[in-house]
Amino acid sequence: MRSDTLRSNRARRVFVLLGAVFPAMLAAQAPIQYGVIYVCPNGYRFTIYSCSGDEANSPCDAQAFTAAQAGRRGPAARSQITALVQVCRVQTAPGDKTVAPGGTGTQASPTQASSNGIHVGDSVEVVTGFGWTPAKVIAIQGNNYRVWVNGIQVTKTYPAEVRRMGAATAQDHAAGQYRLGDRVQVNVNGQWMEGKVVTEMGQEYQVQFGNRMVWARPQNLRPSSTPAPAVPRAGGPPKPGMTSCAGKIEGRYVTTGLGSATIIFRSGKATMTNGFGGEDTLECWTAGDKIILRETDHPENEMPLDINNDGTLEMPIYGEFKKKGN
256 DSSP assignment:
-
Q: For residue range 73-112, what is the model confidence (pLDDT) as tens digits?
A: 778 888 888 888 877 887 765 544 443 333 333 333 444 5
| The CATH number of domain 123-164 is 1.10.10 | no
The pLDDT of residue 107: 38
The pLDDT of residue 65: 66
Would the CATH topology of 177-223 be identical to that of 243-325? Answer: no
Domain boundaries, the chain: 2-90, 123-164, 177-223, 243-325
In the chain, the amino acid numbered 173 is H
Q: Which CATH class is domain 177-223?
A: mainly beta
Say whether pLDDT at 270 is over 60: yes
CA–CA distance, 175 with 177 (Å, rounded to integer): 6
Most confident of 18-22, 72-76, 176-180, 295-299: 176-180
The pLDDT of residue 27: 40
CA–CA distance, 192 with 188 (Å, rounded to integer): 6
Q: For residue range 198-245, what is the model confidence (pLDDT) as tens digits?
A: 888 888 999 988 778 899 999 999 999 887 666 556 667 888 899 999
Its CATH architecture, for the domain 243-325, is Beta Barrel (2.40)
pTM: 0.43
Residue of 144, 143, 145, 146 whose CA lies nearest to 97: 146
